Structure 1
Amino acid sequence: MTESSRTGQDAVDAITAQWYAVRPELETAPMAVFGRIYRISRAMADATERVYERHGISRGEFDVIGTLRRSGEPYTLSPRQLSATLMLTSGGMTGRLDKLEKAGLLGRSPDPHDRRGLQVTLTERGLELVDAAVVAGLEVQRAALTGFSDEEVDVLSGLLRRLLGAVQ
């Protein structure tokens, strides 16, 4: 057991205490909230990245095939739709699509409704992989929440939704 887990203190408490020592007039509660959100986000991003790597994909690649999967059958979107959803430039999207197509996880074909457009479609192999990867990613997230009741998770989710709305 670490000292921080015995005392209920964490690294963010140490940082805010240091600020209090040199600038006691500062109200550091926002720093404590966002410091913890940042550290949680980094830790969970690293953990899910490791899970996706076991499936042979990166987080960014999961985002592409996950977006296609969430779109429902026939699991097809245009590169523009994918770019907008994932907030990527067309160049960034092209690189991901090239790699995923080479791996056999998606295919590109002409858009039958727009001679100049393309459609990106999840392959059967891509569908199987994303279905396995999403389950594995959710297991990591669920494990991080094991110390919370279902009601606490709902409250936390609601509070974070409000906070996200305030900062967007």
Structure 2
Amino acid sequence: MTTGSPHPAPGGAPDAAPGGAAGGDEVDLIVAAWRREAPQLDVEPLEVLSRVARLARHLDRLRRDAFAAHELETWEFDVLAALRRAGSPHELSPGQLLVETLVASGTMTNRVDRLAGRGLVERRPDPADRRSVRVRLTAAGSAVVDAALADLVEAEHRMLDVLGREERRALATLLRRVSAPFER
């Protein structure tokens, strides 16, 4: 027994899960098994959060593939994207990069070193404090992050094509409400 949606897929055919559950997916099979094996537990959160976790794994793979096509690792894209989003002159302090990418100070120093070695960023003296530096996106860094972002957005659009515009907006609103307490 599954707990999947009775709604048919576009075209009138019922959805089929990889595990063979008509009208459901793998999570429906997992939830049904837990309800059978541990009926004393309310496993309803699994119906949402197991899907979020599975989608996160698919999204990680999709992103790695999009970035690999531009010879970038995910962490490299994260740093370059933070600089690109900063607006002209596309530079941030190492401390600002820490906040933007959620990594430790030693990790960021290593990442900036590696990106500078590839010519994607450069360190510049901070005009407000000569003892400090700013990390600036180079023209090469800007070109590669822009191209990787274009490919990523295209792939993410394909991933969400199963939803209409209003469904995507509603999902974004719901996910924002769930994730807001964990944000900085």
Q: Which residue of 2 aligns with 1:108?
A: 123
| Cα distance in 2 for residues equivalent to 1:104 and 1:86 | 20
RMSD: 1.5
Residue 38 of structure 2: which of 8, 20, 23 is its match?
Answer: 23
Residue 80 of structure 2: which of 55, 65, 89 is its match?
Answer: 65
| Cα distance in 1 for residues equivalent to 2:66 and 2:73 | 9
Residue 149 of structure 2: which of 131, 134, 158 is its match?
Answer: 134
| Cα distance in 2 for residues equivalent to 1:147 and 1:5 | 20
Instruction: Give the Å deviation of 1:16.
Output: 1.1
Aligned residue identity for 2:93:
S
Q: Secondary structure at the match of 1:56?
A: coil
| Cα distance in 1 for residues equivalent to 2:158 and 2:20 | 18
Q: Which residue of 2 aligns with 1:99?
A: 114
Aligned residue identity for 1:130:
V
Deviations 1:133-159 (A, max 9, x none): 111111111001111111111011011
Unaligned runs of 5+ in 1: none
Unaligned runs of 5+ in 2: 1-15
| Cα distance in 2 for residues equivalent to 1:156 and 1:54 | 29
From the superposition, tell whether residues 158 and 88 of structure 1 become closer, same or farther in structure 2 (CA, over 3 Å).
same
Aligned residue identity for 2:83:
L
Q: Which residue of 2 aligns with 1:41?
A: 56
Deviation larger for 30-39 or 2-11:
2-11
Percent identity reads: 37
Moved beyond 2 Å, runs of 4+: 1-6
Deviation larger for 32-41 or 6-15:
6-15
Aligned residue identity for 1:153:
R
From the superposition, tell whether residues 18 and 5 of structure 1 become closer, same or farther in structure 2 (CA, over 3 Å).
closer
Residue 83 of structure 1 pairs with residue 98 of structure 2: yes
| Cα distance in 2 for residues equivalent to 1:161 and 1:23 | 31
From the superposition, tell whether residues 29 and 2 of structure 1 become closer, same or farther in structure 2 (CA, over 3 Å).
closer
Instruction: Give the Å deviation of 1:8.
Output: 2.4
| Cα distance in 2 for residues equivalent to 1:72 and 1:149 | 31
Checking the alignment, whether the CA contact within 8 Å between 2:35 and 2:41 is kept in structure 1 is yes
Q: Secondary structure at the match of 1:25?
A: coil
Q: Which residue of 2 aligns with 1:158?
A: 173
Deviation larger for 20-29 or 67-76:
20-29
Please, what TM-score do these two structures have when normalized by structure 2?
Answer: 0.86
| Cα distance in 2 for residues equivalent to 1:28 and 1:95 | 42
- The size of the alignment, in residue pairs, is 168
Aligned residue identity for 2:101:
L
